[in-house]
Amino acid sequence: MNVASLSRVRLLPYLQMMRPANIVTAWADILVGFAASGSAIILNQVLTGAIANLSPLAWLLLATTGLYGGGVVFNDVFDAELDAKERPERPIPSGSASRQGAILLGSLLLVVGVAAAAQVSLLSAILSAAIAFAALLYDAFGKHHPFFGPINMGACRGGNLLLGISAVPAVVGEYWFLALIPIAYIAAITAISRGEVHGGKATTGILALLLIGAVIAAMLTLGLLQNYQVLPACPFVGLFAARVLPPFVKAVREPSPEQIRGAVKAGVLSLIVLDATVAAGFAGLPYGLLVLSLLPISILLAQIFAVT
């Protein structure tokens, strides 16, 4: 084995800890926030070749890559002892990655995330620092709390959407409530994910279904906003419901680890569909399709790297 091949073997476990398929879903959060910030003009900028005007988007995409990647790497750091018993195939307990190396990688990613956001605005830097703190809080403590944990994780994704909106800082105060949609949705996924190893309870699955129903209703209710059009969003709402509801219903009927893992995987990847729905409402069908185009990329990566 040559040096290049050996390096790839050594780096692969650290890449696995970053959950590449999930990072793509975080990009979708930024894109929908960017649309809500008033960027229906973004598509026109792209079409007219004014790429320089999109530099805030590039910085925010880099920021969320660092924040999400760093957050999930630290998840494996804090779970190393538990994973040694329940998921010994993961990089740290299997010995393919060191805990010290993971701490270094996670720290570097979080620093990159905050530094990249700071290139956009002070508010972006503050939001990114808050996301990093919330991610570490979840990794260390929040995940073990039955009520606070799901809310904590949801706050990370809600903050990520606000990070996208912060491309135009003045709009964050106007559309702050949009963060409640991913908070509710991620809370549903996080709640049901507690049964991934040993199985769950039907009551938890029912609660998750109720939260997903509330999310669907919220996406339609956004039509009350002056700058949001329901009609372009409707096809995406249908796709979202078709992707998410069946596996969650199965997990309620049979709360086995296999069914729950399937529901969690479908839920995480369908974040892109949720984001495409809201993006289409704010910026039109073509922009919604642009966000949705991330889905096949995430699905492909999910076949190579773990999602949960």
Q: Residue 27's domain is classified under what CATH number?
A: 1.10.357.140
* Over residues 160-169, mean pLDDT: 95
Cβ–Cβ < 8 Å for 53, 187: no
Distance CA 299, CA 55 (A): 27
Question: 246 pLDDT exceeds 70?
Answer: yes
Q: d(Cα 191, Cα 206) in Å, to the nearest integer? A: 10
pLDDT at res. 48? 52
pLDDT for 144: 83
307 inside domain: no
Burial class (CB in 10 A: 0-12, 13-18, 19+), 1: exposed
Over residues 217-227, the pLDDT tens digits come to: 999 999 999 88
Question: What is the sign, positive or negative, of the torsion defined by CA atoms of 300, 301, 305, 308?
Answer: negative
| Predicted TM-score (pTM) of this structure | 0.88
Confidence class of residue 198 from pLDDT cuts 50, 70 and 90?
A: low
In a domain, 196, yes or no: yes
Please tell me the distance from the alpha carbon of residue 199 to that of residue 288, in angstroms, as a whole number: 36
Q: Please check whether residue 159 lies inside any domain of the structure.
A: yes
| Residue 220 one-letter amino acid | L
The per-residue pLDDT for 46 is: 56
pLDDT at 9 over 60: no
Q: Is residue 197 part of a domain?
A: yes
Is 85 domain-assigned?
A: yes
Stated length of the chain? 308
Output the pLDDT for position 51.
52
Above 80 in pLDDT, residue 7? no
Domain boundaries, position 27: 17-302
To the nearest whole percent, how much of the chain has pLDDT over 90? 63
Query: Looking at the 3D structure of the chain, how many domains does it have?
Result: 1
Reference 307, options 258, 264, 273; nearest CA is: 264
Residue 9 lies in a domain: no
pLDDT for position 150: 82
Return the pLDDT at 45: 56
Instruction: Please report whether residue 1 resides in a domain.
Output: no
* Cα radius of gyration (the chain): 19
d(CA 140, CA 106): 14
Say if 199 falls within a structural domain: yes
pLDDT in tens, 98-140: 999 999 999 999 999 999 999 999 999 999 999 999 999 999 9
- DSSP structure class, residue 119: T
Q: What's the pLDDT at 3? A: 40
